[in-house]
Amino acid sequence: MTEPKTKENAACIELEFDLGDPPQKVWRAVTIPELRERWLPQEALANPDPVTVIPDQEVRYQLRDDAPPFLESTVTFVLIPNDTGGTCLRVLHELKDTAATQIASSSANSNGPPLMRAA
């Protein structure tokens, strides 16, 4: 496995991993609850059933924080076969609460660009 590539903004974190395992094995790890439980515990899921599934390609789960403010998000696993027989695994974690996104992107103390006074 190579180091993940990361893209991040206020509402989404995108990670990309290059795995040596074939897509079928990675698919089992992200869809079979007993295997998924090792790294994505059921307590983190709002619902243990996937929100959407494109067999052998993409699966999306709904998450919910267990502490206030109880933010909801989705995590999507996208599997792409690579040239070496392994898998490129893209993980997209998106915040669903737009109000929280707006709060995170605005300054708490109304800091803006500094203004100069006219003399």
Going by DSSP bridges, is the β-strand pair 58-64/52-54 parallel, antiparallel, or unpaired?
Answer: antiparallel
pLDDT exceeds cutoff 80 at 105: no
Within a domain: 119: no
Question: What pLDDT, on the 0 to 100 scale, is given for residue 39?
Answer: 82
pLDDT 10s digits, 4-63: 666 656 678 999 999 999 999 999 999 999 999 998 888 999 999 999 999 999 999 999
Within a domain: 80: yes
Q: What residue numbers bound the domain in which 14 lies?
A: 5-101
Within a domain: 30: yes
Question: What pLDDT, on the 0 to 100 scale, is given for residue 101?
Answer: 45
Within a domain: 92: yes
86 or 3, which is more confident: 86
Within a domain: 106: no
Sheet with 52-54, edge to edge strand ranges: 5-8, 12-19, 87-95, 72-81, 58-64, 52-54
CATH code, domain with 24: 3.30.530.20
Is the entire prediction scored with pTM above 0.75? Answer: no
Within a domain: 33: yes
Within a domain: 24: yes
42 or 77, which is more confident: 77
Within a domain: 51: yes
Q: Which two tokens stand for residue 102?
A: 């707006």
Tally of structural domains, the chain: 1
